[in-house]
Amino acid sequence: MHKTSSQPVIFTKPHFEILDGLRGLAAVAVVIFHFMEIAVPDYKENFIAHAYLAVDFFFCLSGFVIAYAYDQKLKSIGLMNFFKIRLIRLHPLVIIGSIIGLVAFAFDPMSNLFNAYIGRSFWMFVASCLMIPYALVHERYFNFFHLNPPTWSLFWEYVANLVYAFVLIKLKNKVLWFLTILAAILLGYEAFKSGNLSVGWGGDNFFGGGARVFFSFLAGILIYRSKWKIPSKLGFATIGILLILAFLIPFSEKFNFIIDPLVIVLFFPFLIALGAGVSLAKKSSWICRFSGEISYPLYMVHYPFIWVFMSYVESKKPTMNEMIPVMAIGVVALIAFAFVVLIFIDLPIRKKLRKIMDSGLKITSG
């Protein structure tokens, strides 16, 4: 193997498999939540109404994983290689999701909404691919990225990665603690102002996304740097149930501004520390690996089909008994579709891009 000080050795660093598994569970919960959000618009009647907090779990887990992978490596691989690695990991699915979103928008058989935006659809697509916030479609929630709404969280993930590489990597833990406490206060204020923390995705709640990633990403870094692991004999199933229970908390307009920050500030960091301290049983290893691999593709390709489901609900006015099998089949089909996208599109693209990157490194170092 050709060795060089700038070689991205982090590709071979081992993972925390239970945390991978939890990420997959959270992604499935998001898909179910988005179906239910259309079927039952009143969150008080939505059995999984708090699954929007899965994004905060993703942010916290991302902070932990980024610090774990790069705190000791960033200086040796360099900033440009760090950004290339993150782009290779994240951006193919941003573009894939945008393409799927454009196709679903244009050919939705039960909606004529595309006709109203046909003159601006190209710029919607460009903005989605480049992750430039472009809130346009007022008829459907005024999302920053209508073609693929989950892209909003990738926008903030990129911001967090930039801040990590230029600032957070250099900070001592005392400063990080101060910033994390400050971020928790801002998160609480955002929850009080908005009533809940389902914010950051649209034209009227943009800065709420900054508050969410600010705390959770910092908390994830602190968990790693403080070596906060909770050893236990709990298995993946038990810790997974604990995560799902957070999403099943009943929605309360009166108390949600308290519930959401408590879950994000206290419970999610605890779960990540718990997952990091557990030794995974071999019988659960495969499901955690599969769950982790499928989580990001599932998150990034599912929502265009949620728009189609919304068109079905608006045009056909189905009963709940009619929607339940559609949603159940939809969740399973989307998991299968995400796996196909992963195997036949995302992984080959990333493999090709890594080869190009590695060859560039060899030429530079040679």
Q: What is the DSSP letter of 198?
A: -
Q: Could you tell me if residue 1 is inside a domain?
A: no
pLDDT digits (tens, 9 = 90+) for 27-80: 999 999 999 999 999 999 999 999 999 999 999 999 999 999 999 999 999 999
Residue 6 pLDDT > 80, yes or no? Answer: no
Cα-Cα-Cα-Cα torsion 337, 286, 23, 153, nearest 10 degrees, comes to: -40
pLDDT tens track for 178-210 = 999 999 999 999 999 999 999 999 988 999 999
Would you say residue 261 lies in a domain? yes
Q: Is the pTM of this model over 0.85?
A: yes
Q: Return the SS3 of 278.
A: strand
Angstrom distance (rounded) from CA 340 to CA 231: 36
Is 177 a member of any domain?
yes
pLDDT digits (tens, 9 = 90+) for 109-131: 999 999 999 999 999 999 999 99
CA distances from 101 to 105, 122, 305 (A): 6, 12, 8
Does some domain include residue 254? yes
- 205: which DSSP letter? S
Q: Evaluate whether residue 3 is within a structural domain.
A: no
In a domain, 4, yes or no: no
Residue (of 348, 350, 359) closest to 88 by Cα position? 350
Q: Confirm if 337 and 31 have CB atoms less than 8 A apart.
A: no
Model confidence pLDDT, tens digit, residues 325-363: 999 999 999 999 999 999 999 999 999 999 999 887 655
Within-domain flag for 341: yes
49 within some domain: yes
At residue 3, the pLDDT reads 43
DSSP H helices, the chain, are 17-39, 54-70, 74-77, 79-107, 113-116, 121-130, 151-166, 173-194, 206-225, 236-247, 256-262, 268-276, 282-301, 303-316, 320-341, 347-365
Give the residue numbers spanning the domain of 229.
9-365
Average per-residue pLDDT for the chain:
93
**Around Cβ 365, how many Cβ atoms within 10 Å?**
12
Q: How confident is the model at residue 284, as a pLDDT?
A: 82
Strand partners, 202: 143
Counted domains in the chain: 1
